[in-house]
């Protein structure tokens, strides 16, 4: 089909925007049909209230391997949860930590559904799957299922495509900060905006938001034990590694890319789905949250010991 320049924009709006709007309408119908009395359904998207309830049910039913902690609260007063799963669980992590989070961007519902599915598999099948059993015996799994509870609730009640949190910004009518742009390492660089009305607004300063502060404090307390961090987003079939702020490479890039290759090959083998892999900056676009985690947790980025602390995402 040939698309003439004069009509290309209209074609795009009709084909792409129209399809998205139809999907959103279907989600709206689904939201109206679901309420807090339905309980958690692993085949559907779920409200924040039902996610909370499911997390509490899990720790009640599997108290020998699961513990739920509140690591902070949001601007609107909702709890931010960290669910820890391991064999012979105690009050604090004692094994190497595998940290997995999702939902930092409110509209990315499937990232939250994915992490909840993983939680369900790990908690409810540890003795039926030898691989899961080995992991639970050897590691502390820490799941942070919804890093942006206020924004997530807002996507259910008001605006399905909302991305930021719901905190007000001084001297602006626009609400919210892109939490994924609010980390201190390389804060304010490429891929961020200083305009409170933009969807990628970084905040007026690094760690200005209660949500990012809560995660930072948890990571700082446990960073010596963290051996793997995975952060789920949507959309796109991408398996990405640091850096996001530039084309520079971390000291262990070869190792990360080797494991990335193993991961995407495993996904293709099981599901037939093809994922691209590589550094954030060259695979999708500039961003800098991943290197905040790596710098905070590993503490051995190239030049890190000699360089002064720098602000960033």
Question: Would you state the pLDDT for residue 283?
Answer: 86
Q: What is the mean pLDDT of residues 33-50?
A: 83
What contacts 290, CB < 8 A, 6 or more positions away? 231, 240, 241, 242, 243, 244, 280
Distance CA 145, CA 152 (A): 11
**Mean of the per-residue pLDDT values of the chain:** 85
The tokens of 155 are what? 């996507």
Evaluate if residue 291 carries a pLDDT over 60: no
Q: What is the mean pLDDT of residues 109-135?
A: 91
7-21, 46-60, 87-101, 166-180: least confident range: 7-21
Question: Would you state the pLDDT for residue 9?
Answer: 52
Distance CA 94, CA 291 (A): 25
Q: What is the mean pLDDT of residues 11-18?
A: 55
Question: Would you state the pLDDT for residue 37?
Answer: 63
Question: Would you state the pLDDT for residue 18?
Answer: 58
> pTM of the full predicted structure?
0.83
* Cross-strand pairs, 231: 101
Question: Would you state the pLDDT for residue 93?
Answer: 96
Question: Would you state the pLDDT for residue 312?
Answer: 33
The tokens of 105 are what? 């961007």
Give, in order, the Cα–Cα distances in Å from 37 to each of 43, 49, 120, 201: 16, 10, 20, 36
Per-residue pLDDT reduced to its tens digit, 154-208: 999 999 999 999 999 999 999 999 999 999 988 988 889 999 999 999 999 999 9
Q: How confident is the model at residue 213 (pLDDT cuts 50, 70, 90)?
A: very high
Q: What is the mean pLDDT of residues 5-27?
A: 59
Question: Would you state the pLDDT for residue 59?
Answer: 97
Question: Would you state the pLDDT for residue 35?
Answer: 59
């Amino acid at each position: 089909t040939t698309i003439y320049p004069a009509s290309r924009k209209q074609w795009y709006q009709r084909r792409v925007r129209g399809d998205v709007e139809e999907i959103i309408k279907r989600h709206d119908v689904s939201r109206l049909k679901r309420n807090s009395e339905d309980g958690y359904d692993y085949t559907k998207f779920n409200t924040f209230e039902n996610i909370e309830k499911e997390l509490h049910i899990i720790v009640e039913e599997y108290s020998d391997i699961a513990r739920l902690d509140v690591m902070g609260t949001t601007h609107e007063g909702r709890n931010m949860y960290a669910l820890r799963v391991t064999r012979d669980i105690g009050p604090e992590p004692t094994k190497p930590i595998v940290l997995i989070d999702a939902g930092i961007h409110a509209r990315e519902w499937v990232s939250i559904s994915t992490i909840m599915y993983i939680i369900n598999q790990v908690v409810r099948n540890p003795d039926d799957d030898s691989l899961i059993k080995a992991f639970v015996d050897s590691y502390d799994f820490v799941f942070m299922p919804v890093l942006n509870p206020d924004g997530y609730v807002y996507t259910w009640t008001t605006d399905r495509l909302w991305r930021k949190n719901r905190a007000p910004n001084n001297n602006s009518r626009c609400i919210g900060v892109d939490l994924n742009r609010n980390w201190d390492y390389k804060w304010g660089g490429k891929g961020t905006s200083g305009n409170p009305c933009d969807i990628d607004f970084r905040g007026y300063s690094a760690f200005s938001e209660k949500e990012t502060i809560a995660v930072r404090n948890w990571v700082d307390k446990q960073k010596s034990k963290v051996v793997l961090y995975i952060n789920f987003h949507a959309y796109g079939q991408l398996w990405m590694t640091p850096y996001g702020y530039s084309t520079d490479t971390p000291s262990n890039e070869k190792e990360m890319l080797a494991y990335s290759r193993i991961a995407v090959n495993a996904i293709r083998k099981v599901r037939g789905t093809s994922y691209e892999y590589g550094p954030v900056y060259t695979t999708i676009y500039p961003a800098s949250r991943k290197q905040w985690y790596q710098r905070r947790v590993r503490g051995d980025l190239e030049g890190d010991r000699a360089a002064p602390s720098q602000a960033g995402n």
